[in-house]
Amino acid sequence: DHHVDYGSGSGLQDRVAFVQSDPSQYDASIRLANVQESDTGTYQCRVKKNTIAVHEVIVTVQEKPAPPQCWFEGELVEGSSVLLRCYSR
């Protein structure tokens, strides 16, 4: 039907658009800009020509990790062993 149903209160109106300007030309792909954790959910593509075809995709948006904190344990001497540790929330 040449439109995107954004759902209620999703905040997607300004961030979702068809990849091709005319989805009736066999490409109904959409682009989701500036993804956010709240965009996690089930998305449905519904294409209607002579019949209706429906496909669902589950999208999981994960939070970007914090920069890691890294340090070493052991003596920095040639031939010795050191342990490199990194931690990120």
List, for residues 15-43, the tens digit of each pLDDT value: 888 888 888 777 888 888 999 888 898 88
Average pLDDT over residues 60-86: 90
User: Position 75: which residue type?
Assistant: E
The domain tally of the chain equals 1
Asked if residue 35 is part of any domain, the answer here is yes
Asked if residue 75 is part of any domain, the answer here is no
Asked if residue 55 is part of any domain, the answer here is yes
Name the residue range of residue 47's domain: 16-59
pTM: 0.59
pLDDT band at 69 (very low <50, low <70, confident <90, very high): very high
Please report which residue ranges of the chain form alpha helices under DSSP H. Answer: none
Asked if residue 50 is part of any domain, the answer here is yes
pLDDT at 58: 94
* Residue whose structure tokens are 């040449």: 2
Average pLDDT over residues 64-77: 88
Asked if residue 46 is part of any domain, the answer here is yes
Asked if residue 47 is part of any domain, the answer here is yes
Asked if residue 10 is part of any domain, the answer here is no
pLDDT at 1 over 90: no
